[in-house]
Amino acid sequence: MEAGPGKFIVDGTLGGGGHSELFLKAGARVMGVDRDPEALAHARRRLAAYGDRFITWEGNFACLPEAPEIQQGGKADGLLLDLGVSSRQLDAAERGFSFMREGPLDMRMGPSSPRSAADVVNTWDEAELVRIMFEYGEEKRSRRIARAIVERRATKPFETTTELAGCIEKAIGRRGRIHPATRAFQAIRMAVNEELDSLATALANAPAVLKPGGLLLVITFHSLEDRMVKRFLKHRSSPFIDEPGWPEPRPNPDYQFQRLARKAIAPSTEEINSNPRARSAKLRVARLLDNQS
């Protein structure tokens, strides 16, 4: 992305501030956005040297049109969404994201997340637990896990990450190198933070955040999220739409973007070696058409 002097970039997922720092180093002005106040505080300290070229906004990236900078007409040359949780969040036991570290069953990215993981695990119907683990976690043994959760919580509600991880391991056993709670924890985190809803709204709102010609960049780590971005960009970058039964294709009223690559861009081997988390990352990039305002 061209992030030089005179450019304004919205980093919708500030996290540790790594991407923002690259944009600032290139000379751009950056608004770092995160729903996690701890991430914002950390990045503000880390990026203080860039002075007023770096500003922050605490909130959900789904609500970017409400950010004062955007409200005052400061539309962006680029909007980056690097989805998921940061390694800082994963590593902090007290945030409850990790089944490897004992902590409260929380998993909220920030105060705007409507519920904690304990709320989900201790109060949601068995069928809902099956659904989220199957859909968000692609967990084939979701029924068995949900049954075990419901049986255990009837005697004692879950309080900690390790209690939940232990219950899941007991229910489905351990096979291979991946911890048996990996998929369930991912699913619960996505439900706690309503991650798919936030992404859908953020994509729909992107044209209100970008200048005409501005770039939208989305990095996903999950096939459901990548499919959502892919479908959104495919539809919004088609000048015409066609349906069976129509005599001819019709102009697409949602035609707003130009895809810069049809396929998702995968990280290089070098990137994966320096950041193993990037292994399953996919980047999709599109440009808002010049006639959009």
Ligand X SMILES: C[S@@+](CC[C@H](N)C(=O)[O-])C[C@H]1O[C@@H](n2cnc3c(N)ncnc32)[C@H](O)[C@@H]1O
Task: Name the maximum alpha-carbon separation found in the chain.
Answer: 63
Residue from 1, 3, 7, 19 binding ligand X (CB under 6 A): 19
Residue from 13, 98, 142, 220 binding ligand X (CB under 6 A): 13
Query: Mask: binding to ligand X, 72-111, rule CB under 6 A, as x and -?
Result: ----------x-xxx----------------------x--
What's the CA gap between 152 and 134, in Å, rounded? 20
Q: What would you report as the CA-atom Rg of the chain, rounded to the nearest whole angstrom? A: 21
Q: What is the smallest separation between the CB atom of 218 and ligand X, expressed in angstroms?
A: 12
Does 17 sit near ligand X (CB under 6 A)?
Answer: yes
CA distances 30 to 79, 88, 188, Å, are 10, 21, 32
Q: What is the smallest separation between the CB atom of 193 and ligand X, expressed in angstroms?
A: 6
What's the CA gap between 70 and 82, in Å, rounded? 20
Does 225 sit near ligand X (CB under 6 A)?
Answer: no
- Contacts with 252 (C-beta within 8 Å, 6 or more apart), sequence order: 235, 238, 239, 240, 241
Does 18 sit near ligand X (CB under 6 A)?
Answer: yes
Q: What is the smallest separation between the CB atom of 112 and ligand X, expressed in angstroms?
A: 8
What's the CA gap between 89 and 20, in Å, rounded? 18
Query: Mask: binding to ligand X, 109-148, rule CB under 6 A, as x and -?
Result: x---------------------------------------
What's the CA gap between 266 and 253, in Å, rounded? 31
Q: What is the smallest separation between the CB atom of 92 and ligand X, expressed in angstroms?
A: 11
Name the nearest CA neighbour of 208 among 99, 64, 58, 96: 64
Q: Which stretch binds ligand X (CB under 6 A): 1-9, 30-38, 126-134, 281-289?
A: 30-38
Does 198 sit near ligand X (CB under 6 A)?
Answer: yes
Amino acid of residue 49: A
Residues near ligand X (CB under 6 A) are 13, 15-19, 33-36, 39, 60-62, 82, 84-86, 109, 198
